[in-house]
Amino acid sequence: MATNGLQNGRIFSNWIGGESRPSHSGELFENRNPADRDDVIGLFPQSTTGDADAAVAAAAAAFDSWRLVPAPRRAEILLRAAQLITERKEQFARDMTREMGKVLEETRGDVQEAIDMTAFMAGEGRRLYGQTVPSELPDKFAMSLRQPVGVCALITPWNFPMAIPSWKIAPALVCGNTVVLKPATLTPLSALNFIKILVEAGVPPGVVNLVTGGPDVGTRLSMHESVRVVSFTGSTAVGRLVNQNAAPSFKKVHLEMGGKNVIIVMDDAPLELAVEGCLWGGFGTTGQRCTAASRVVVHDRIYDDFLEAFVRGVKSLRVGNGLDPSIQVGPVVSEAQLDTVTRYVEIGRQEGARLVVGGHRLDAGAHAQGWFHEPTVFAGVDPQMRIAQEEIFGPVVSVIRCRSLDEAIAIGNGVAYGLSASIYTRDVNTAFRAMRDLYTGIFYVNAPTIGAEVHLPFGGTRATGNGHREAGTAALDVFSEWKSVYVDFSGRLQRAQIDT
C-alpha cells in the first residue's frame, strides 16, 4: 500500500532480540482506521523472510537461558504484565477500536481477556502439574513432568488482536519456550502493545519477538527448521497450508480456524432472551468472530414470532464508528472483507433466500469514510444454501425453520465446522440432549455462541481445528512435552515387566 499522506501517524518497527529493528526490505505498510479511511494509525514494516529468520535466531539463542528460569519466576513476570495492562486498559482499547473497528465496549473486553489469560497462566507457573505414581518394582520412583518445546511461531488474526496473542504467548512463556509473533497486517499495533508490556514486565531479550508483514513471513515461520511449535488462528484454507508447511519437519501444529455456528431456538424458549442472544451472537464484533452465530434454527411453532422480533431488533442496531459510545455495530475490518460480505449477500439472493432486513453497504453521511455494512438477515434459508454452509465473517445471519429437536441438531451438525453451538429452551432434558449430540468444542444453554472464558478449553472439531485447544490448562499441552522419569534406588538391575 502507498505510504503517501500519512496524517498524525507514527513509524513502527519489528521487535527482535530485545530491540526495535526496521525490516530488511525498508518497506512499510499503512494501518488505517476502518471507520475512517483518512485516519492513518501508523506505518509498520513490510518484513521479509530474512526478518523472520532473524527473529527465530534471537528466540533460539534466548531459549537455553529462559528454559532454566524457574517457572514461578517466569510466572511473576506474567503477573506483572497483567497488572501493567490493567493500568493501560483504556488506552489499549481505544487503539484497538481505531485499528480494527469493533466498538469500544468490546475492545475493552478484548484487553480484559488478555489481562485474564496472562494472570491465569501466571498461576500455572506454580503448578505445571505432572504425576507421581507407584512403580511396579520395589525401590523405584516414577513420575512425569512437563518440559518446554523450544521456539514457538505464533500467527494471529485481526479480530481479537490482543486477546488471541495472549492466549498463545502466555502459556508458551510459562512453559519455558521462546516465541516469534506474526500478527495480522490489519492489526499490528495491538499486538505490539502487548509485546511492549511483556518487555516492560521483565521478559529478557529474545524471549518474545514480533515481526509484521504478509504471508511470506508466516510461510517462513511455519517452515523454519528451528521452530518447534506453530500455533495459528485464522481461516481454514490458510490453516491447511500452515499444516502442510510444518509437516516435513514434524513440528507440533495447533490450528484454530473457522466456524459456522448455530443457535437453536426451541418452541419453549424464553423468546425475548433468545432474540437478545441472537442479536449479540450474530452482530457482536460485526459478525467478525469465529464463534459468531451466523445460523439461527427456530422451531416452526414460534418461527414467525421470533423472526418478527429479531428483525425489529436488527433494525434498531446503530452502526458507526466504534469510538462513539452510542454505536452498537462497528465497521467491517477492510474493503476486501466488505467485498466478501456483499458478495455473500448477493449469493443469498441468487439462492432464493428471502432478504428481510439489511443487505446493503452503508457509504453515505457518517458512513462515507468507512467500510460499513447493514446488519442483514435472510429468512426462508435452506440448510444447504451457501450462506448457511460457508463462513461469511460479517453481519449476516440466516434464519432456518425446523420442526423438531432432532431436525435442529441435524442442521446444526450439517456443516464442515464444529466450533460453537447454543440452544434456548426451558426443558432441561432438551438442553442435555442437544449438549450431548451437537458435535462442537463449545456449547451454551440459554446464551449465544460467543463469550468463552479463559479457564476452560477453547477450540473446535472437524474443519475448525486439529484437536488441540487454547485457554485453560489444555493450552499447556500445545506448548510442552511430557517426560516420564524413573529413579531406581535399589542398587541392582531391575528389568521392569521382565522382573515383575
Under the banding of pLDDT at 50, 70 and 90, the label for residue 46 is very high
Q: What is the pLDDT of residue 64?
A: 96
Domain for residue 498, yes or no? no
Q: Are residues 270 and 145 in the same domain?
A: no
Q: Are residues 188 and 57 in the same domain?
A: yes
Q: Are residues 279 and 190 in the same domain?
A: no
Question: pLDDT tens digits, residue range 445-459?
Answer: 999 999 999 999 999
Domain for residue 366, yes or no? yes
Residue for grid cell 460480505: 341
Q: How far apart are the first and last CA of the chain?
A: 70
Q: Are residues 231 and 281 in the same domain?
A: no
* DSSP string for residues in 109-154: HHHHHHHHHHHHHHHHTTT---EEEE-SSTTEEEEEEEEE--EEEE
Assess whether pLDDT exceeds 80 at residue 6: no
Q: What is the CATH number of the domain that holds 294?
A: 3.40.309.10
Assess whether pLDDT exceeds 50 at residue 472: yes
Q: What is the pLDDT of residue 3?
A: 38
Whether this model's pTM surpasses 0.75: yes
Q: Are residues 252 and 266 in the same domain?
A: no
Work out the angle between the directed axes of helices 163-174 and 71-87 (0-180°, nearest 10): 160
346 is catalytic: no
Q: Are residues 318 and 283 in the same domain?
A: yes
DSSP category for residue 329: B
**How confident is the model over 174-183, as a mean pLDDT?**
98
Question: pLDDT tens digits, residue range 265-274?
Answer: 999 999 999 9
Q: What is the pLDDT of residue 337?
A: 97
**How confident is the model over 346-372, as a mean pLDDT?**
97
Q: Are residues 80 and 121 in the same domain?
A: yes
Q: Are residues 317 and 431 in the same domain?
A: yes
Question: pLDDT tens digits, residue range 275-303?
Answer: 999 999 999 999 999 999 999 999 999 99
Q: Which domain holds residue 166?
A: 10-257+465-483
Instruction: State the amino acid at position 331 in one-letter form.
Output: P
Determine if residue 248 is left, alpha or beta; phi over 0 gives left, psi from -120 to 50 gives alpha, anything else beta.
alpha
Candidates 106, 124, 256, 391; catalytic one: 256
Domain for residue 458, yes or no? no
H helix count then E strand count, the chain:
15, 24
Under the banding of pLDDT at 50, 70 and 90, the label for residue 123 is very high
Q: What is the pLDDT of residue 118?
A: 98
Domain for residue 495, yes or no? no
Under the banding of pLDDT at 50, 70 and 90, the label for residue 499 is confident
Domain for residue 390, yes or no? yes
Taking every pair of Cα atoms in the chain, the longest distance, rounded to a whole number of angstroms, is 86
Assess whether pLDDT exceeds 60 at residue 186: yes
Under the banding of pLDDT at 50, 70 and 90, the label for residue 9 is low
Under the banding of pLDDT at 50, 70 and 90, the label for residue 178 is very high
- Spatial contact of 39 and 5, defined as CB atoms under 8 Å apart: no
Assess whether pLDDT exceeds 60 at residue 8: no
**How confident is the model over 234-263, as a mean pLDDT?**
96
Percent helix, percent strand, percent coil in the chain, to nearest 5: 40, 25, 35
Assess whether pLDDT exceeds 60 at residue 18: yes
Cα dihedral 229, 233, 238, 243 sign:
positive
Domain for residue 22, yes or no? yes
Q: What is the pLDDT of residue 2?
A: 36
Q: Are residues 280 and 246 in the same domain?
A: no
Assess whether pLDDT exceeds 80 at residue 437: yes
Candidates 30, 290, 374, 470; catalytic one: 290
**How confident is the model over 37-45, as a mean pLDDT?**
95
Under the banding of pLDDT at 50, 70 and 90, the label for residue 500 is confident
**How many separate domains does the chain show?**
2
Q: Are residues 403 and 477 in the same domain?
A: no
Q: Are residues 169 and 120 in the same domain?
A: yes
290 is catalytic: yes
**How confident is the model over 471-475, as a mean pLDDT?**
96
Domain for residue 488, yes or no? no
In angstroms, the CA 82 to CA 75 distance is 11
Q: What is the CATH number of the domain that holds 98?
A: 3.40.605.10
What value does the mean pLDDT of the chain take? 96
Q: Are residues 390 and 436 in the same domain?
A: yes
Cell of 233: 488462528
Domain for residue 453, yes or no? no
